[in-house]
Amino acid sequence: MERILKEQNMPKHIAVIMDGNGRWAKMRGLPRSEGHKRGVERLREILEAAKEAGVEVLSVYAFSIENWMRPEQEISVIMNLLETALKKDLLTFMKEKVRFKVIGNRQRLSPETRGIIEAVEEQTAGNNGITLQCALSYGGRDEVIRAVKKLMASGADQEAVTEESLSALLDTSDMPDPDLIIRTSGEQRLSNFLLWQSAYSEFYFTSTLWPDFTKEEFLEAIHEYQSRSRRFGAVDTSEEYPAFAERP
């Protein structure tokens, strides 16, 4: 079903935990690598859908810092897929004005991977369309610790430690917080994704495995987001009944 979305209530930033590639492959008797391959195709479609919907930032969890614990062979499949996809998609990024950037602990990436992502980041830095923020070798706790270390190294005194000064040192410093976080595959957890930034995010969990996640379901998630009341701890003044009506 085609969804009618309210343009004025579009999430600026959507973050996606692309989970379930391995299970998708296993169900079909295929190697896990096939699930990851299919996952890359899904990402292309969802990026396109996000762009069409007018979303400003699409963040995707591609590889967590804990994923380094996986077998070496699977890690190399994922890194190779990423490198190949970036080389292939650079032209499209330029044509579609996509800005690409990576968040995460780069020190753990191989020099080859780092070289390719840095080249694509540099080339797309001036693009003013949607930003594709890719979390790679990323852990929310690791990101906060790295930010605290930077703050300490700057010699900041206690007064200078504020939510703003810490936010400014996170990998996501130039991005708004995610309005909506989608997780596929039925798991209902963050798995160390955007811990600081998700303080007031809305969540959409679906049992759909990432290789089966479609543009239609992505729009469904935005539709559901638009039906939520985001109060940020305050009282919703648009509510119909007066919550604290004065007594006669």
Binding residues (CB under 6 A) for ligand IPE: these are 17-23, 61-64, 67, 78, 185, 187, 189, 191
The CB-of-15 to ligand IPE minimum distance in angstroms stands at: 11
Q: Which does 21 bind (CB under 5 to 8 A by kind): ligand IPE, Mg ion, none?
A: ligand IPE
Cβ burial, residue 141 (10 Å; 0-12/13-18/19+): exposed
Residue in 11, 15, 16, 19 binding Mg ion, rule: CB under 5 A: 19
Q: Which residues have a Cβ under 8 Å from the Cβ of 136 and sit 6 or more positions away?
A: 62, 63, 82, 102, 103, 104, 109, 117
Beta carbons of 204 and 13 less than 8 angstroms apart: no
* Closer residue to ligand IPE, CB minimum distance, 10 or 183: 183
* Closer residue to Mg ion, CB minimum distance, 19 or 202: 19
Is 67 designated active site? yes
The CB-of-67 to ligand IPE minimum distance in angstroms stands at: 5
Of residues 177, 157, 190, the one with CA closest to residue 56 = 177
* Closer residue to ligand IPE, CB minimum distance, 86 or 169: 86
The enclosing H or E element of 85 equals helix 72-96
Is 157 designated active site? no
- Residues labelled catalytic: 19, 67
